[in-house]
Structure 1
Amino acid sequence: MSAHSFVFSSKVLRSLELEREAIEAQELRKRCQTYYVSQGRRAEIPRTPRVGRGTQKPFLLCEDRLIHNALYTGDIQRVQQFFSKSTAVNLVIEGSHEELQWSSQRLGIWSLCYKQEFTTPLQITASRGYDRCLRHLLSCGAEVDFAPGGKTALHEACENAQTECVRLLLSYGANPNAFSEDGYTPLHLCSSPESLPCAAHLLKFGGHVNSRTEDKDDTALHIAARFGLEEHVTRYLEYGASVNRMNDCGQTPLHCVCAQTHGKEDVERYYRVCKLLIEQGASVNALDEEKQSALHLACRTANNKIVNLLLHQGIDVNRMDYGGNAPMHKALQAVAYRLELEPEHTVRSLLNYGSIRIWPGAIPKVLKFCSQSPRTIEVLINVYDRLKVTDDWMESVPLKLFQEHQEFYDSLFALSQKPRSLQHLARCTIRNQLDGQCQKLVPELPLPTVLQEYLLLQFRGYVS
């Protein structure tokens, strides 16, 4: 198809032409500068690398598949055969990245192809944990911080939790505070439980615990908190990590741990990280750029243990964010998506600590979005001494869910024909007198446990 008949506008076409010319020029330079390694025959041609930081320098491109195979499989005998102190060990290997990009072919046809990236023998062996090969390359004089693709070998080793390779690289002088092209230090890439020994080595060799990433201004503590890495958090705090430092979104590490979505199996782990941060002085009242507290974020992820911890610390249960949402709104918005974490417990805790109630006129909307969780509906209804049940209520519950939880919804809709029970009215009266301090004061009342639980909105599976 000719340019004159192309469906894009002239502005778009011009943009495509400029991009095509740039890529073709780059491909031409690449063909002119290609360095081949074949059958032991080597020629040195300079090339300018894509280096994220530091001084750019020429490098040698290796396209010998035998060498590639030896490095990627960790074949120490062949690595020793191909690399010695008399050969170039700072070769560069060009490979394909999983990311796709538009590229122009010789005939002027544009197509999606895999993005090319550069790596080195040192990076390949370090990222895969081939410590014997790595030791040999280092002993042959490999440049330890060489980063033609924007990452050093130390970045790669930390990202893949290769402890022995991290130790080796640091002992040979690798910079523990080098920034990658994306603005990360090796410590920022220690984001898995297995990477704890790597982080320990980095700190021991002078890694800066409060260095910030370029994209989000995160410290290592932000990242460890976000991934629920309790031991990392402990280690960073021991090395002076700032517990209340904010990133570019105004979030502290406490915000990060509360905001991170996680499964039921990780509830305890994230709770322990949150508790540790608070014990070390994290401010529960800090607000991010959206004026959200840690409680807003914890309600959205429905971790009731964290919610109770924050409420026990005296956090404001009714603070509004920029969008006009209180923590209760965040909790209700998350109900349908966090059923496995039993979000009704979060709603109950908020009400027992004095949360505002929802406007009665909004109950049909709540029924529509929270009908999969009858317990959530139950606890919300039980803070009112009277409500007018309308046809909108019944129409808001999908038939399938009504049938699945028919006993509960029958008891709910029956309120249109009868008043609430005397027992419930007494409960409302006592709760109103306690004025938002139910969780604190009810356990001190001289009442049987069953009555205390009733006052605290214990679930019963029906309303009366």
Structure 2
Amino acid sequence: MNALLLSAWFGHLQILQILVNSGAKIHCENKDGLTLLHCAAQKGHVPVLAFIMEDLEDVPLDHADKLGRTAFHRAAEHGQLDALDFLVGSGCDHSVKDKEGNTALHLAAGRGHLAVLQRLVDIRLDLEEQNVEGLTALNAAAEGVHPDCVQLLLEAGSCVNALTQKKQSCLHYAVLGGSEDMARTLIHSGGHTNMADHQGLFPLHLAVKHNFPALVQLLLDAGSDLDATDNRQQTPLHLAAEHARQDIAEMLLIAGVNLNLRDKDHPLRKDPKDPYGKNLTFKQDHRQERQQFHSVLWRLASRDLRPHEWKKLAYCWEFTEAHVHAIEQQWTGTKSYQEHGHRMLLIWLHGVATAGENPGKALFEGLVAIGRRNLA
């Protein structure tokens, strides 16, 4: 960093002018390839940017440093909104990528700069552009664990299930970061819970492995496959045992994980010829029609039922006060009722199936009984 670059870096406009007037070389770079424009943009010094663009000759607006990043990239990466606006007004290239394939959108999202990200969305940068690792801006925001940026990009129309080169989704990153809020946002926006990465790991595997019980419960409530196997043929229960996650192992058992019982005559074994039989089972029903019904119940709980209507349904189906109290025990925020309702519906569905009743008919009658005929 020579004196001229330092004056731009720290925003000392008068010193910069003195040095230029004294014959300093304006096209200098530091060892990383940063020019005067890069320095001023990264630190957000708009008066210096204006002097460079308006009073100096032949300063290339889109010159790249050794990482392939322009001043526009640098302003986005470091959250300098005013500098970004100046460069946009000066006609910089919005869509240019650095050597890792990142656009300004990737850099702002990955660093969590919400105001800059909003401006980049407003100027209509491609939300689905991928870098060399296959990350979109939404993937980058999820990887950096920036829930507000994730929410903004989802509202702008980003694909919630975009996969990277390693087949990781945003939900994988949310779980790796231990962010329950972000995972819930992604699931509510249509994020698939049953997607495997390059190692065959589902989000549920990762939540178990890294010991995030709240995320395990969230993923279970959202219909994660309890018996999914990774590339080592390990189920979530295997991982819970391998890493001594006792509490999580109990959660998986309660949720109905397949214990692979070998005795065909065991009383807990379900008769395959009687899928709605009255025998108790720990094995999930993975038939397509049942999976579709699970999706209906999740949508019902998260979007259609009003805050207290899940309780009305529960009482209509003869749940007791103790049952309802147990279901709503876990408070996770103002939208807890969605998870409570979903949990109640899953319990109800298990009971209906065990009794051999038609769940569609029973759900229709329940909704009518609480005054939601149109929804039914």
User: Please, what TM-score do these two structures have when normalized by structure 1?
Assistant: 0.53
Pick the aligned partner of 1:93 from 5, 8, 29: 29
Pick the aligned partner of 1:176 from 94, 103, 106: 94
3-state SS, counterpart of residue 94 of structure 2: coil
1:218 aligned residue: 135
2:50 aligned residue: 135
Please say if residues 92 and 148 of structure 1, whose CA atoms lie closer than 8 Å, have aligned partners that are also in contact: no
3-state SS, counterpart of residue 118 of structure 1: coil
* Cα pair distance change 1:325/1:211, threshold 3 Å: same
2:120 aligned residue: 202
1:159 aligned residue: 77
2:305 aligned residue: none
Deviation of 1:332 after TM superposition, in Å, equals 4.2
Letter in 2 for 1:136: F
Gaps of 5+ in 2: 262-278, 285-313, 328-376
In structure 2, distance between residues paired with 1:163 and 1:331: 45
Deviation of 1:192 after TM superposition, in Å, equals 5.6
1:63-462 alignment, distance < 5 Å: 65-83=2-20, 89=26, 91-95=27-31, 117-140=32-55, 142-149=59-66, 150-191=68-109, 194-214=112-132, 216-260=133-177, 262=178, 270-334=179-243, 344-356=246-258, 433=280, 435=282
2:349 aligned residue: none
Please say if residues 163 and 195 of structure 1, whose CA atoms lie closer than 8 Å, have aligned partners that are also in contact: no
In structure 2, distance between residues paired with 1:278 and 1:353: 19
In structure 2, distance between residues paired with 1:192 and 1:242: 16
Aligned-pair identity in percent equals 24
Deviation of 1:240 after TM superposition, in Å, equals 2.0
In structure 2, distance between residues paired with 1:444 and 1:224: 44
More strand by percentage: 1
Deviation of 1:134 after TM superposition, in Å, equals 2.0
User: How large is the Cα RMSD of the aligned pairs?
Assistant: 3.3
Deviation of 1:321 after TM superposition, in Å, equals 1.0
Please say if residues 328 and 356 of structure 1, whose CA atoms lie closer than 8 Å, have aligned partners that are also in contact: no
Letter in 2 for 1:204: D
Letter in 2 for 1:274: A
Please say if residues 105 and 137 of structure 2, whose CA atoms lie closer than 8 Å, have aligned partners that are also in contact: yes
3-state SS, counterpart of residue 94 of structure 1: coil
Gaps of 5+ in 1: 1-62, 96-116, 263-269, 336-342, 360-431, 454-464
3-state SS, counterpart of residue 205 of structure 2: helix
User: Please, what TM-score do these two structures have when normalized by structure 2?
Assistant: 0.65
In structure 2, distance between residues paired with 1:290 and 1:345: 25
* Cα pair distance change 1:323/1:75, threshold 3 Å: same
In structure 2, distance between residues paired with 1:358 and 1:83: 78
Query: For each residue in 1:97-147, what CA deviation from the matched residue of structure 2 results, as whole angstroms up to 9, or x when unmatched?
Result: xxxxxxxxxxxxxxxxxxxx2110111111122232223222235322111
* Cα pair distance change 1:146/1:444, threshold 3 Å: farther
In structure 2, distance between residues paired with 1:199 and 1:320: 37
* Cα pair distance change 1:226/1:194, threshold 3 Å: closer
In structure 2, distance between residues paired with 1:292 and 1:88: 55
